[in-house]
Amino acid sequence: MTFSLVARDPASGAFGMVVTSSSPAVAARCVHLRPGAAGAASQNVTNPELGTKLLDLVESGAAAGDAMAKLLAQEPNTAYRQLSLVDNQGRTAVFSGAKTLGTHRTVEGPAAVAAGNLLSAPGVVDAIMDAYTTATGEFEDRLLAGLLAGRDAGGEEGPEHSAGLVVVDQVSWAVTDLRVDWAEEDPIGQLAEVWKLWEPQKHQYLTRALQPDDAPSYGVPGDL
Contacts of 177 (CB under 8 A, 6+ apart): 164, 165, 166, 167
CB atoms within 10 A of CB 122: 13
What would the pLDDT profile of 137-179 be if each residue is shown by its tens digit?
A: 999 999 999 999 999 999 999 999 999 999 999 999 999 999 9
Averaged confidence pLDDT in the chain? 96
Query: Residue 76: is it exposed, middle or buried by C-beta count within 10 angstroms (0-12/13-18/19+)?
Result: exposed
What would the pLDDT profile of 89-136 be if each residue is shown by its tens digit?
A: 999 999 999 999 999 999 999 999 999 999 999 999 999 999 999 999
What would the pLDDT profile of 44-78 be if each residue is shown by its tens digit?
A: 999 999 999 999 999 999 999 999 999 999 999 99
**Average pLDDT of span 197-219:** 89
Would you state the pLDDT for residue 220? 66
Asked whether the beta carbons of 96 and 114 are under 8 A apart, the reply is no
Asked whether the beta carbons of 110 and 133 are under 8 A apart, the reply is yes
Would you state the pLDDT for residue 217? 74
Angle made by CA atoms 112, 95, 24, in degrees to the nearest 5 = 80
Threshold 0.75, pTM exceeds = yes
Q: Is the pLDDT of residue 33 over 90?
A: yes
